Amino acid sequence: MAEFGFDVLATDGAARRGRITTAHGTVDTPAFMPVGTAGTVKGMLPGAVAETGAEILLGNTYHLMLRPGAERVERLGGLHRMMGWDKPILTDSGGFQVMSLTGLRKLTEDAVIFKSHIDGSEHVLSPERSMDIQRMLDADITMALDECTPHPATYEQTDKSLALSMRWGARSKTAFRQRPGYGLFGIVQGGVYLDLRSRSVTELTGIGFDGYAIGGLAVGEGQETMFTVLDHTAPQLPADRPRYLMGVGTPADLVGSVARGVDMFDCVMPTRSGRTGQAFTARGKVNLRNARHQDDPRPLQEGCRCPACTQFSRAYLHHLQRSEEMLGPILLTWHNLTYYQNLMAGIRQAVASGNFEDFAAAFAEEQALGDIPLL
């Protein structure tokens, strides 16, 4: 089995074109990971997700430890076998979900104690337990457990939270079971405070991880502030390790973050938007529930290879949404994931050919034009 690794194949400014090697295959970067929180990308068969161009999925420790349970997943052969996905999987450590359980959790130095949102049962999630759960899930990429600093937070609150995350990061590294093809990522915290971000990078690189995530962004600080933090943080991370911006984001977020040296992304936006009638296109977002689509015979986006665009009209997609037929969210989810994967493929090609700046400018110009109405 191949060792876990990352190769930078080309650069264009700060943008990178690379490849991650894992136990379950390779991932071309920059890469977007569809979110399969509970062991499924909602409304999509695994083969359909692969057809969009996705090479890696994200699963979630918190949800899977509660239902069906990590031990059960392990008995069933691991998450890959259980959900029918033979490509790489990254698992979120569960920290973000647990920290969002306001009133249902208690934070200690050792762990976070929380009550399940499903049945109220009490659970303890420590760095050691998180590493063990992710091992049982058979995640190719395991995330260190951290405390997700809320936004907004004072400097003092962020400083204290960061210190705990770094201690938990060290414990995660000690508890992680090294195996060929499997990697552990540390998570940079520090909120919007640049000196704290630098300190976090220094401490994490001192511990030593196979990759580095940038957490605590896209939580309400706005794109301009997010890009400022990335401008400061990404260049300080090791050039020979993948960089993962957690929970981001819009197509413009992805293009702007690649320009600042980010290699990996995940976000619920394309799937969640698909379930609410929102479609991403080269000319911006389209709401298929709007009445203006009811007589429109055109495809959602010319040239798109997904079934929503190659087999059906906007009028039909509008009908499905208004009728609340389950096929509607399925088709729009399929389209949105295809759009995101096409965008990432275009980015990779642009970086490899040295014209990423032109690609980014053309992307922004086309997005600004907006959708073309039916004349």
Q: d(Cα 329, Cα 182) in Å, to the nearest integer?
A: 34
**Residue 283 in tokens:** 């000319």
DSSP reduced 3-state for 189: coil
CB-CB neighbours of 160 under 10 Å: 14
**CA 348 centroid distance within chain:** 17
From 138, 140, 263, 266, active-site residue: 266
Q: d(Cα 217, Cα 339) in Å, to the nearest integer?
A: 23
Please name which of 68, 84, 180, 82 lies closest in space to residue 133, comparing C-alpha atoms.
68
From 12, 92, 140, 253, active-site residue: 92
With a CB cutoff of 8 Å and minimum separation 6, the contacts of 63 are 37, 38, 97
With beta carbons less than 8 A apart as the criterion, state whether 126 and 119 touch: no
Q: d(Cα 70, Cα 279) in Å, to the nearest integer?
A: 34
Q: d(Cα 323, Cα 272) in Å, to the nearest integer?
A: 18
Q: d(Cα 217, Cα 290) in Å, to the nearest integer?
A: 32
Q: d(Cα 215, Cα 51) in Å, to the nearest integer?
A: 29
Please name which of 2, 7, 32 lies closest in space to residue 18, comparing C-alpha atoms.
7
With beta carbons less than 8 A apart as the criterion, state whether 205 and 181 touch: no
Q: Is 92 a catalytic residue?
A: yes
Q: Is 140 a catalytic residue?
A: no
Annotated catalytic residues are 92, 266
